[in-house]
Amino acid sequence: MLSVYSFSEQAIVDFCEVTHDHNVVHDPQFMKSQGKKAVVPGMLILSKAIGMAEEIIRKGANTFHLFLNSMVGANEPLTIGYRVLERTPIKAEIIARNSKDTLSHKGNSSIIYKRNQVINDRPSGQHRSLETKAMQIESFSNQIALKENPLGAILFSIAYASHSLFQAIEKPISNIEKEIHGYLNKDDQNDKQSPFYQSILIHLPDQIHVPIGGVPLDYFIHFERIKEGRTYGAQVFCTQNGEEVYSSYYVLTAIPDRLIMRMAPNL
């Protein structure tokens, strides 16, 4: 199932407001001052595409292996959706394409599938609790056309994890968090870098817990070094009221801010 879709400036602003994404590349006014289009958040594209594949999840898909590549600007048409690869066990490719395939990296496509192995992850790492408001999940779900659908709440908790990850970098506790903070917050403006997702691996538990608004989401985050000053991994375990929502593993790479701005689509 594929559809042509685009994200307006207002859709970008609304998504960033509800997920607390403060990156200036998503600010239409700032980006216009740079001669650039506002960049659509990668998590907005992923949430929309996975939401369109809701029937695949109902058929048992419980693992998302997601990749991010090119940037997409406001109002740029995207062919977005999914393509079934296998039916037993279920497996599908998640797609978002314009001139490039934005959900692939080095030949790896984003996929959702039913895993065979049992995942026995347990909370570890630094605990970061994020408050949620009753309207946050509802607003998020409406934005990705999953009104009153439990998948909307789950995708919100995944998108909201970005705020927790970046909060951990901005206010580091562990030594590895302090190392990342040091590399990303250099005094020289020309050397400043920002974290960019290369990939995200997400495991849903066998017993699905659907988050509710008004109750904090708890994120347990453990960073590890892959290549110092360049690439880091982050294990993230999300719970609410002690119930597992999902476990995940992120690979983040540091990209110079000047390069990010150069990569952003021109007006």
Q: What is the mean pLDDT of residues 184-200?
A: 77
pLDDT tens string 38-77: 999 999 999 999 999 999 999 999 999 999 988 999 999 9
CA pair distance 135, 110, nearest whole angstrom:
30
Cα 147 from chain centre: 20
User: What would the pLDDT profile of 207-220 be if each residue is shown by its tens digit?
Assistant: 889 999 999 999 99
Question: Which pLDDT does position 188 carry in this prediction?
Answer: 55
Looking up tokens 């001669």, which residue turns up? Answer: 35
For residue 186, how many other CB atoms are within 10 A of its CB? 11
pLDDT of residue 186: 61
Question: Residue 255: what are its φ and ψ, rounded to 5°?
Answer: -125, 130
Give residue 3's pLDDT: 93
Q: Which DSSP letter does residue 27 get?
A: -
Instruction: Please give the pLDDT value at position 189.
Output: 53
pTM: 0.94
Residues 6+ positions from 95 with CB-CB distance below 8 Å: 2, 49, 79, 80, 81, 82, 83, 101, 103, 109, 110
pLDDT at 187: 57
- Rounded distance between C-alpha atoms, residue 106 and residue 152, angstroms: 29
Q: Dihedral sign, CA of 81, 84, 85, 88? A: positive
Q: Give the Cα-Cα-Cα angle 216, 126, 245 (nearest 5 degrees).
A: 45
Name the token pair of 143: 């934005």
Cβ pair 232, 226 in contact under 8 A: yes
Domains of the chain: 2-263 (3.10.129.10)
Least Cα distance to 202 among 43, 71, 6, 55 occurs for 43
Question: What letters, b where the CB count within 10 A reaches 16 and e where it falls short, cover 80-113?
Answer: bbbeeeeeeebbbbbbbbbeebbbbbeeebbbbb
Lowest mean pLDDT among 141-150, 164-173, 188-197: 188-197
Question: Residues 115-138: what's their mean pLDDT?
Answer: 87
Per-chain mean pLDDT for the chain: 92
Residue 138 has pLDDT above 90, yes or no: yes
pLDDT of 106 higher than 90:
no
Res. 256 pLDDT band, cuts 50 70 90: confident
Question: Which one-letter DSSP state was computed for residue 26?
Answer: G
pLDDT band at 117 (very low <50, low <70, confident <90, very high): confident
Burial of 26 (0-12, 13-18, 19+ CB in 10 A): buried
Q: What is the pLDDT of residue 99?
A: 81
> What pLDDT score does 143 carry?
95
Beta strands in 168-242 (DSSP E): 193-203, 217-227, 231-240
